[in-house]
Structure 1
Amino acid sequence: MTVLYIDSDAALTQFCQDIQDSHWLAIDTEFLREKTYYPQLCLIQIANDDVIACVDPIAVKDLTPLLDLLYQPQITLVFHAARQDLELLYLLKNALPQNLFDTQLAATILGDGDQIGYGNLVKQRLNVNLDKAHSRADWTQRPLSAEQLEYAADDVRYLRELYHQMSADLEKQQRTEWLKEDFSALANADNYIADPETIWRKIRGAGKLKGVQLAILQQLAAWREQRAIDRDRPRRWIIKDEVMLDLARFAPEKIEKLSQIRGLEARDIERNGRAIIDVISKAKQTPPEAWPILLKPEPLSNQQEALIDALMALLRKFCDEQSVTPIAVASRKDIEKLVRGETELALLQGWRYQIVGHHLTAFIDGHLSVTADIQQIHTKEV
């Protein structure tokens, strides 16, 4: 099948008119994010049963016809590992399409594996080996070679075949409804909006700080986030995480003291030193009742750890019986929360509760007995 290369507004408008009656569209993107805060969109690949197209967003000035089409509620957008593609769409439209299908998510409840890559899924289901030669290509460079366009086209060429095959399998196994909630969660805009006031919680090592140190880290992280956005540069290019932790820990009061912070270069001090000191000074004035808190759970007892191990074994057993990847149902962290008595868990809702969750709660409550031999685990309701 010929791959269309669309590099003009007129060609895009015509293409969108030609495919406007589609019930579904396979979509993928190529982007670069090594030197910027926001991903740089470099190529959009679109396919249905009749056509494959590579849309060049660098050459096309107005993507509105395509975006309007993709956001039509009657069209299902088919992705593999949709999150980064959806982030790009959110940045372009300030909204998210609501009718989604993600083959990576579908793979977890069809027994194909956890977070399986596109190439592995294509090999596993379609017995096709994809060319990986351009996986690290610089997609901002023009012109794109014929080989690059073929590589990009393959990302949707086989995605449409996976969609047909996997959606049929889901229907056959009566699992189509299982994924609707997960797909809806993907389309939640909160997943793609960074909150400067809470971004500090993602800094590894924050749990070693306390009191006013956390207030300093919170305000430094909010300042860094806004600075990165304004300059469209990666956060780490403004200040690295480990430097942020030391700034919060030692709270220098003068610019001259910043040179004592390991990893803070002279050029960083020259560029951001005054702002850093101002943020620290302001944060130190935060009243104690307004200091952020990182709640640390009580250490688990040996008996609780043993219970978690037993529940994980049961999780694997029941998932194996249903040909579902265990992580699609619950992680060890989820099982730990269950043991701690938390109830707001996906494990205790919908299809996850139906196939696994109710067994685990029955075991905890003493209503499920477990025996084993060298072949398998046996369970019985009591």
Structure 2
Amino acid sequence: MHYQTIIHAEALAAFCAELGAAPLAIDTEFVRTRTYYPQLGLVQLFDGQQLALIDPVAIPDLSPLWRVLQRPDQITVLHAASEDLELIHHEAGAMPFHTHDTQLAAAFTGSGLSIGFNAMTQELLQVTLDKDQARTNWLARPLTEKQLHYAAADVFYLLPIYEKLLERLQHEGRIAWFEEECAALVERKRPQELSEQAYKDIGNAWQLGRQELAVLQRLAMWRESEAKRRDLALNFVVKELHLFKCAERMPKTLRDLEQLGLLQPEIRNHGKTLLRLIEEAQNSDPQSWPQRLQRLVDFPHYKSELKRLRAKVEAVANAQRLPVELLASKKTIHQYLSWLWKCADEQKQDGKMPRLLTGWRKELLGDLTQ
């Protein structure tokens, strides 16, 4: 396995200029511990002829590469693409134009939903990879030859795996399903604007009344904004539990925050801001307060309907030799039930349809009421 290491901007530009329209296998190595955004440590590329390891520590501006990924005729091949897509968008400001995820391809060809890369190399290529460098600090320099070889292998074997899986998809007539699911994954990984709905993801928010939810809504939006501004993981700004306690108890003083169990750095850095946001929410127009949250488990027919839908999904998935969780996970079924039971008719007409009622899932599952 031969590869080149690119540490100069001129060499990166020259390499990218030579890339044709062939599918491009790409992988990224990054560190993400306390930060909101992943910190890019290495980018690996293989087009079937040339294999390059690009050092973003030495070359902060990777725009020649990002322009390649955004060409309309360029297929970007990734494995388990979720985190890579988030990283690429953060670095490039855009998603790759056309993404194929080999983990999804494997799922559509009967290899399970979340098969790992090493398991795929063993199954499809009879190659066992050495994964002892998985916990490398990819921001440290210099990287050893063993670390670089480990990183290069991830794209060297990715391309032949992709080619084999694509043949299977074509043979089984599932290319369209695969393409649709890859496109949907890319859409889900696009970063969202600050969400007024973020409070709904806070644990036990359903226990709160409307005024408390108004407080939680402001606190959750502020925390997300602060996390992005400081590039700090959400819970390193203020812990989720502490946001909930602030909304539940609505403290008025720094001493109150301390008695609720907030950490001293949280109080020192953000205490006055938290108290101000709480007071603003308390004094806001009650008509603007969110409605209380309804849990699906509290609807009368939840258990029986979940059981019925799961049975239908399992029967169809087994008949199609698909992973049950790919066709419809519990989260996907919950999305459908929330749409069915919680949305008013006008919202159903104007809003986004649940995944079970669109595309290849609708094709396979048909009428979900039967």
Q: TM-score, normalised by structure 1?
A: 0.87
Q: Match for residue 348 of structure 1?
A: 357
Instruction: Output the amino acid matched with 1:286.
Output: S
Do the aligned partners of residues 207 and 55 (structure 1) sit closer, same or farther apart at CA in structure 2, a change above 3 Å counting? same
Distance in structure 1 (CA, Å) of the matches to 2:257 and 2:89: 38
Q: Match for residue 5 of structure 1?
A: 5
Deviation at 1:93? 2.3
Please say which of residues 237-246 and 310-319 is displaced more in the overlay: 310-319
Do the aligned partners of residues 266 and 298 (structure 1) sit closer, same or farther apart at CA in structure 2, a change above 3 Å counting? closer
Q: What is the SS of the residue equivalent to 1:38?
A: coil
1:1-382 matched pairs, under 5 angstroms:
1-19=1-19, 21-188=20-187, 191-262=190-261, 264-293=262-291, 294-297=293-296, 299-301=298-300, 305-306=303-304, 308-335=306-333, 342=340, 344-355=353-364, 357-358=365-366, 361=368, 364-365=369-370
Q: Which ranges of 4 or more aligned residues in structure 1 deviate by more than 6 Å?
A: none
Deviation at 1:334? 4.0
Q: What is the SS of the residue equivalent to 1:151?
A: helix
Please say which of residues 154-163 and 292-301 is displaced more in the overlay: 292-301
- Please give the root-mean-square deviation of Cα atoms over the aligned residues, in Å: 2.2
Distance in structure 2 (CA, Å) of the matches to 1:338 and 1:90: 29
Q: What is the SS of the residue equivalent to 1:88?
A: helix
Do the aligned partners of residues 143 and 268 (structure 1) sit closer, same or farther apart at CA in structure 2, a change above 3 Å counting? same
Deviation at 1:23? 2.1
Q: Match for residue 345 of structure 2?
A: none
Distance in structure 1 (CA, Å) of the matches to 2:11 and 2:286: 60
Please say which of residues 25-34 and 120-129 is displaced more in the overlay: 120-129
Instruction: Output the amino acid matched with 1:288.
Output: P
Cα deviations by residue, 1:154-209 (Å, 9 ceiling, x for unpaired): 11111111110111111111110112222222332773225243322222222222
Q: What is the SS of the residue equivalent to 2:203?
A: coil
Instruction: Output the amino acid matched with 1:182.
Output: E
Deviation at 1:310? 4.2
Kindly indicate whether the alpha-carbon contact (under 8 Å) linking 1:213 and 1:248 is maintained by their aligned counterparts in 2: yes
Deviation at 1:351? 2.4
Pick the structure with greater CA Rg: 1
Deviation at 1:45? 0.6
Distance in structure 2 (CA, Å) of the matches to 1:100 and 1:337: 25
Deviation at 1:338? 5.7
Kindly indicate whether the alpha-carbon contact (under 8 Å) linking 1:96 and 1:188 is maintained by their aligned counterparts in 2: no
Distance in structure 1 (CA, Å) of the matches to 2:193 and 2:111: 32
Deviation at 1:228? 1.6
The number of equivalent residue pairs is 358
5+ residue gaps, structure 2, are 341-347
Q: What is the SS of the residue equivalent to 1:148?
A: helix
Instruction: Output the amino acid matched with 1:177.
Output: A
5+ residue gaps, structure 1, are 366-382
Distance in structure 2 (CA, Å) of the matches to 1:193 and 1:277: 27
Do the aligned partners of residues 266 and 323 (structure 1) sit closer, same or farther apart at CA in structure 2, a change above 3 Å counting? same
Distance in structure 2 (CA, Å) of the matches to 1:136 and 1:270: 34
Kindly indicate whether the alpha-carbon contact (under 8 Å) linking 2:121 and 2:157 is maintained by their aligned counterparts in 1: yes
Do the aligned partners of residues 203 and 123 (structure 1) sit closer, same or farther apart at CA in structure 2, a change above 3 Å counting? farther
Query: Percentage identity across aligned positions?
Result: 34
Kindly indicate whether the alpha-carbon contact (under 8 Å) linking 2:69 and 2:76 is maintained by their aligned counterparts in 1: yes
Please say which of residues 144-153 and 221-230 is displaced more in the overlay: 221-230
Distance in structure 1 (CA, Å) of the matches to 2:145 and 2:225: 40
Do the aligned partners of residues 100 and 267 (structure 1) sit closer, same or farther apart at CA in structure 2, a change above 3 Å counting? closer
Deviation at 1:333? 4.5
Q: Match for residue 343 of structure 2?
A: none
Kindly indicate whether the alpha-carbon contact (under 8 Å) linking 1:98 and 1:184 is maintained by their aligned counterparts in 2: no
Deviation at 1:94? 1.7
Do the aligned partners of residues 350 and 228 (structure 1) sit closer, same or farther apart at CA in structure 2, a change above 3 Å counting? closer
Distance in structure 2 (CA, Å) of the matches to 1:282 and 1:336: 34
Do the aligned partners of residues 189 and 95 (structure 1) sit closer, same or farther apart at CA in structure 2, a change above 3 Å counting? farther
Instruction: Output the amino acid matched with 1:63.
Output: L
Distance in structure 2 (CA, Å) of the matches to 1:69 and 1:338: 37
